[in-house]
Amino acid sequence: MTHISAEPVTFVVTDIETDGHSPLRNSMLSFASIAVDYEGNEIGTFEANLMPRADREADPRTMDWWLTQPEAWAAATSDPERPEDVMPAYAAWVEALPGFKVFVAAPILFDGAWMDHYLDTYAGTRAIGGPYTGRQLFRGGGVCLYTMAGTLRGQDYLNWGMQRVPADWYGDVPHTHKAIDDARGFANVLIRLFDMNAALPTIENQTGAYT
C-alpha cells in the first residue's frame, strides 16, 4: 500500500546488545541500524561492535545469560572499536540519510536510552529530537515498535510483547540476539504495521488548545 508523506521520512530501526541493563553502570557491546522508508525499501545499514567502557562493569546475571548464547556473544564482541570513533561515524551516517530521520526500537525505552546516552556522550547529539539546542539527528520522540505492534494488533497490554508478533511478520528473519539480524526483523515488522495503519480510516488533523 502506498503511503503519502509531505516530506521524505527515513525510519532508523535499531537493535543493541549490552553487558547489563543500565547505560550508567554497564556497557553497550554492539548495535545495528536498518534504514527503511514507508514502503519497506532498505536505504542503508550501519553496524558496529564497541569496546566496553573502562568506567563501567558488566552485570553478572547478564553475563550468565550470555554464556547460553555463544554465537551471539561472538558476533557482539569480535573486532570491537572505540565508541568515541563509532558514535560520531554513526551520527554522520544518520545525517546523510534522506529526509526526516526517525529513531525506531523495540522497546524504545531500552534501546533508545542506550543509543541516546552513547550519542550524547561521544557525538554531542541525541537519539530523539526535542526542544534543545545543538545538533539533532532525529525528528520527534521516535517510534516504540513494542507499543505500535501491541496497539495495531488490538492486543491487551499483557500481550504486547514482540515475541507474540506473528513469526512471518519478521520476514523469516530469526531473532538471534545478533544486532543486525534483530534490527532487520524489527524493520520487517515495522513495514507490516505501516500497511495495517494505512488501511485504517483517516482522522483529519485538527488544531486546538490543550487544557
Q: What is the pLDDT of residue 4?
A: 62
In the DSSP assignment, the letter for residue 205 is: P
pLDDT at 75 over 90: yes
pTM over 0.85: yes
Q: Which three cell numbers stand for residue 123?
A: 557525538
> Which DSSP string corresponds to the chain?
-----SS-EEEEEEEEEESSS-TTTS-EEEEEEEEE-TT--EEEEEEEEBPPPTT----HHHHHHHTT-HHHHHHHHSS-B-HHHHHHHHHHHHHHSSSEEEEEETTIIIIIHHHHHHHHHHHS--SS--S-SS---S-TT-EEHHHHHHHHTT--GGG--GGGS-GGGGTT----S-HHHHHHHHHHHHHHHHHHHHTSPPPPP------
Render pLDDT for 120-140 as a digit per residue (tens, 0 to 9): 999 999 999 888 888 999 999
Q: What is the pLDDT of residue 203?
A: 56
Q: What does the pLDDT average to over 157-177?
A: 87
- φ, ψ of residue 165 to 5 degrees: the values are -70, 135
Q: Which of these ranges, 19-28, 116-125, 191-200, has the smallest mean pLDDT?
A: 191-200
Q: What does the pLDDT average to over 138-151?
A: 92
Domains in the chain: boundaries? 9-198
CATH code linked to domain 9-198: 3.30.420.10
pLDDT at 58 over 80: yes
Q: Which of these ranges, 1-5, 38-42, 101-105, 190-194, has the smallest mean pLDDT?
A: 1-5
Render pLDDT for 169-192 as a digit per residue (tens, 0 to 9): 899 888 899 999 999 999 999 999
